[in-house]
A = this chain, B = another copy of it.
Amino acid sequence: MIKMLTERQLFLLQVLVDDYILSAEPIGSRSISKRGDIHLSPATIRNELADLEEMGFLEKTHLSSGRIPSEKGYRFYVDHLLSPILLSDDEMRNIRKAYTERYYEAEKLIETTAQILSDFTSCTAIVLGPELLDTKLKHIQMIRLSDNRAVLIIVTDTGHVENRAVVLPDEVNGSEIERMVNILNERLIGVPLYQLKVRLQQEIHVVLNEHIQHYERMMVEIEHALTLNVPDQIYYGGKNNILSQPEFRDINKVIPLLNVLEKKDIIHGLLRSPKSGIQIKIGKENKLVAIEDCSVITTTYSVDSEHVGTVAVIGPKRMAYPRVVTLLDIISKSLTNNLNSNY
């Protein structure tokens, strides 16, 4: 059972977190008391802060320092004190402007989204591309490049294009390839990508064996080519923004963080969240040593009302939560709108 906080304690906690987010330095009672909207003496504030510390919302960096929020403090702030801010007209205009350009590939649009988000938040932005494996096959085609080389092109219903190099056996001729691709198209269109391989082995196997000579050698190639274990694409914006934060003045804190940002599988595991809406993970809540001094805010974007990808911002725990939450909301919605109307 959590003891209720008084109005005044709530207010002081909010003020302290807000101030600390701006200054990055421990906040003392005197500096709070000097604010125009507070009519309390430093001594009174000290008492309240001592109580808040006792309850675990605040910490001191050393015995006689000012206070900084603890992770529990940030958590409370984020859960109960977060007042979404309004962006200035100017900023709204800038965001919209960034989206007016027409992008000829969804990839470019997503890349730009990451860039915008990082520019406006001064944090690192990460966008996970749509989950490829859930999309369905629209078309397969093989383009022959030379006697024994070809490229297999796979188009999904979302307009995504994958391609694979294929080595052709010497004996195979053009019409045979054509026949094979036709069979593949007949049988596989509409099949989700993650099922391709299984379907190929179970159903197409037999059919192809009947119609195509030199089938076995071809099969090995096709099977490889259709094994699409492509990890979903990850797009970054402002990868180095976080380096300017005072908490990362020490290079030894930076190295593991940057290294983990490069590890696509880890980032994937960190950000791919089943829930929709804005999610905030603070510090150790992320269960990853390299980013235990960071907060991660995620939300999803959709295509055809289905959540297909994640938009995330990663920054220091001392992040401008109200601003970032607002921006993330606006920008993920813009991305959703843009994707649905153009692709």
**Interface of A with B (CB < 8 Å)?**
103-106, 138-139, 141, 143, 145, 149, 151, 153, 155, 157-159, 161, 163-167, 224-225, 239-240, 243-244, 248-251, 254-255, 258-259, 262, 342-343
Residues of chain B within 8 A (CB-CB) of A262 are 239-240
Residues of chain B within 8 A (CB-CB) of A225 are 104
**Chain copies in the assembled complex:** 2
Q: Which of B143, B151, B240 contacts A255 (CB 8 A)?
A: B240
CB <8 Å contact, B104 and A164: yes
Q: Which of B149, B167, B249 contacts A251 (CB 8 A)?
A: B249
Q: Which of B145, B153, B159 contacts A145 (CB 8 A)?
A: B159
CB <8 Å contact, A151 and B155: yes
Nearest chain B CB to A47 CB, angstrom units: 39
Known: A145-B138, A248-B251. A343 touches B258 (CB 8 A): no
Considering the complex, give the chain B residue whose CB is closest to the CB of A262.
Answer: B239
Nearest chain B CB to A36 CB, angstrom units: 36
CB <8 Å contact, B104 and A224: yes
Q: 9 tightest A-B contacts by CB?
A: A161-B163, A151-B159, A104-B164, A240-B258, A143-B155, A139-B143, A145-B159, A243-B255, A104-B165
CB <8 Å contact, A106 and B343: no
| A138–B149 alpha-carbon span in the complex (Å) | 13
Residues of chain B within 8 A (CB-CB) of A138 are 143, 145
Nearest chain B CB to A280 CB, angstrom units: 27
- A sample of 9 cross-chain residue pairs with beta-carbon separation below 8 angstroms, ordered by A number, consists of A105-B165, A138-B143, A143-B155, A153-B155, A153-B161, A167-B342, A240-B255, A243-B255, A243-B258
| A166–B103 alpha-carbon span in the complex (Å) | 10
| A140–B231 alpha-carbon span in the complex (Å) | 27
| A145–B138 alpha-carbon span in the complex (Å) | 8
Considering the complex, give the chain B residue whose CB is closest to the CB of A255.
Answer: B243
Nearest chain B CB to A145 CB, angstrom units: 5
| A259–B251 alpha-carbon span in the complex (Å) | 16
Q: With contacts A159-B165, A239-B258, A240-B259 known, what are 7 further pairs, Cβ within 8 A?
A: A103-B165, A104-B166, A105-B165, A153-B155, A165-B343, A167-B342, A248-B251
| A138–B151 alpha-carbon span in the complex (Å) | 11
Considering the complex, give the chain B residue whose CB is closest to the CB of A161.
Answer: B163
Considering the complex, give the chain B residue whose CB is closest to the CB of A155.
Answer: B143
Residues of chain B within 8 A (CB-CB) of A145 are 138, 157-159
CB <8 Å contact, A149 and B159: yes
CB <8 Å contact, A163 and B251: no
Residues of chain B within 8 A (CB-CB) of A249 are 251
Nearest chain B CB to A256 CB, angstrom units: 9
Residues of chain B within 8 A (CB-CB) of A258 are 239-240, 243
Nearest chain B CB to A254 CB, angstrom units: 7
Considering the complex, give the chain B residue whose CB is closest to the CB of A162.
Answer: B161
Known: A141-B141, A342-B167. A255 touches B244 (CB 8 A): yes
Q: Which of B163, B240, B342 contacts A165 (CB 8 A)?
A: B342
CB <8 Å contact, A161 and B167: no
Residues of chain B within 8 A (CB-CB) of A342 are 165, 167
